[in-house]
Structure 1
């Protein structure tokens, strides 16, 4: 991680091959577009160790690349205890993963935890569904939800950092 970043965000799903790497790729691009790429740093991880070291699911890569986002270089990793110290915001894709994070999180860092989809203001849903056992349509829906939440999160970050909306 870059030491110059003033805000560090960790995006978390179960295996770190579908939702969270997609969110990492989309959010990085939105941050770049907003001129925040050196100020806000993102990473992603999974609560489980099923896919450590593997690239994102090909269906997730395809959904992202069709919209101009390349996530092929990302590799799955598991959430580590040190992440609770190193990141300022740790956002779960669904309630199950939020609960796992909360169970492992030291009490002094509990305020860093949140739900990623809470940043999609126009959505009632709080969870980004796991598309792993579904088809292409599920990955497209996940991308749409992630896009909305990423836009809301970037707006929130601009306000926190005192930057005007664009």
Structure 2
């Protein structure tokens, strides 16, 4: 099983949106028995909370499930257990790299590295901007490209 972890700050907006969208695309591709997705936050403020109402409303609009998703904080063990750990922004990438220390053999890419023309940039945090539609567009594109990249790399 190939395991993918999306990480943002509080795990209620961007990373659960990416998890839900990615899972949806994996299921559409018939790969749900080969690829699993999860999400976490570097902060602990929202542990146990459902995704943000703006994320839920948007996922409902696109008929993308998010049942049983609850915010959790990323653990050092996650960085060893997941095949792909993807940061939603550069601050969280730095925090993940610090958490990993020397224990992580591969890099932690930014999510936007999978969006053409977005390489090296952050996914804006809709918790502060309220722009869930803009974030969804980036996440939808990035999840499609990430899935294609995994399929090519892993021979799926």
Are 2:13 and 2:125, in contact at CA under 8 Å, matched by a contact in 1?
yes
In structure 1, the gaps of 5 or more residues are: none
Deviations 1:54-96 (A, max 9, x none): 0000111001111111224210000011101111111000000
In structure 2, the gaps of 5 or more residues are: none
CA gap 1:16/1:160 in 2 versus in 1, 3 angstroms? same
The corresponding residue for 1:39 is: 34
Match of 1:18 among 3, 13, 20: 13
C-alpha displacement at 1:116, in angstroms?
1.1
Indicate yes or no: 2:130 matched with 1:148. no
Moved over 4 A (4+): none
Match of 1:89 among 81, 84, 88: 84
Superposition CA RMSD, Å: 1.4
Measured in 1, the distance between the counterparts of 2:81 and 2:34 equals 15
The corresponding residue for 1:107 is: 102
TM-score norm. by structure 1 comes to 0.89
CA gap 1:87/1:96 in 2 versus in 1, 3 angstroms? same
Deviations 1:1-41 (A, max 9, x none): xxxx1x11110000000000000000001111112111111
Task: Say which SS state the counterpart of residue 126 (structure 2) adopts.
Answer: coil
Task: Say which SS state the counterpart of residue 113 (structure 1) adopts.
Answer: coil
C-alpha displacement at 1:107, in angstroms?
1.6
Indicate yes or no: 2:46 matched with 1:71. no
Measured in 1, the distance between the counterparts of 2:147 and 2:113 equals 13
Are 1:84 and 1:106, in contact at CA under 8 Å, matched by a contact in 2?
no
TM-score norm. by structure 2 comes to 0.94
Indicate yes or no: 2:55 matched with 1:60. yes
Are 2:112 and 2:121, in contact at CA under 8 Å, matched by a contact in 1?
yes
C-alpha displacement at 1:124, in angstroms?
5.0
The corresponding residue for 2:154 is: 161
